[in-house]
């Protein structure tokens, strides 16, 4: 692990360029040094991996974005659970996490991949587990949950120490049972990315007006 941490400190961080112009939008990844590869980007950080360590990912927080120490504490409270990643180590601006390899629920919708009801129940159980560990699941939506071999997992726990109640997952479940299950579960069809992005932005606008 020490060798990998040195790879991150010396080979990745000095040449990785990311920025966060809008905290409500994913960070912008300008460049990733080879042989590192971009896995994804969220509102706070970019996630990359090294081909020699495919079971690990490095989550690098953009400059000025808070939450790293809080995320470390979340993983400490979660311990080991099959529906969550694990934190192997941390630096001043990054975390080393266990890699979860699957397809996000957002990508399932975009690509027309069937989302079994078991996935929804797995995520519900994982969130209840987190509550029993003293955490408050927050910002749980289609891009932050994943399906791995027909099972549901939670990918992003960075906001699980926030106090306020978050209705995102509850709203997603309502849509799943009211629309997806009766209309698309048996015969899923791809939903275009622009449509999903429009729905995402519209949802956020409505929630901001209601709050």
For the range 72-79, what are the long-range contacts, defined as Cβ-Cβ under 8 Å and sequence gap of 24 or more? 73/161, 74/135, 74/157, 74/158, 74/160, 74/161, 75/157, 77/133, 77/134, 77/135, 78/129, 78/130, 78/133, 78/135, 78/157, 79/133
Kindly state the helix (H) or strand (E) to which residue 59 belongs, with its residue range: strand 56-61
Which among 55, 124, 139, 156 is annotated as catalytic? Answer: 139
139 part of the active site: yes
Cβ-in-10-Å burial (0-12, 13-18, 19+) of 146 comes to: buried
Structure tokens at 44: 């706070």
Q: CA–CA separation, 73 vs 133, rounded Å?
A: 12
Q: Where are the alpha helices (DSSP H) in the chain?
A: 2-7, 68-78, 105-111, 117-132, 168-175, 181-183, 193-210
Active site residues: 139
């Amino acid at each position: 692990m020490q060798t990998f941490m040195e790879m991150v400190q010396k080979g990745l961080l000095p040449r990785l360029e990311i920025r966060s112009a809008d905290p409500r939008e994913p960070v912008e990844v300008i460049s990733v040094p080879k042989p590192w590869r971009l896995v994804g980007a969220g509102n706070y950080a970019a996630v990359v991996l090294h081909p020699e360590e495919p079971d690990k990912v490095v989550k690098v927080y953009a400059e000025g974005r808070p939450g790293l120490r809080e995320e470390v504490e979340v993983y400490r409270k979660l311990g080991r659970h099959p529906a969550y990643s694990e934190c192997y180590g941390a630096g001043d601006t990054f975390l080393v996490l266990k890699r979860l390899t699957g397809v996000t629920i957002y990508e399932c919708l975009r690509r027309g991949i069937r989302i079994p009801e078991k996935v929804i129940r797995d995520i519900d159980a994982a969130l209840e587990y987190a509550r029993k560990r003293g955490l408050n699941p927050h910002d749980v939506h289609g891009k932050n949950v994943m399906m791995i071999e027909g099972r549901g997992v939670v990918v992003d726990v960075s906001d699980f120490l926030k106090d306020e109640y978050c209705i995102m997952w509850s709203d997603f479940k309502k849509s799943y049972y009211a629309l997806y299950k009766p209309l698309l579960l048996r015969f899923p069809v791809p939903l275009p990315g622009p449509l999903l992005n429009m729905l995402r932005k519209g949802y956020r606008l409505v929630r901001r007006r209601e709050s």
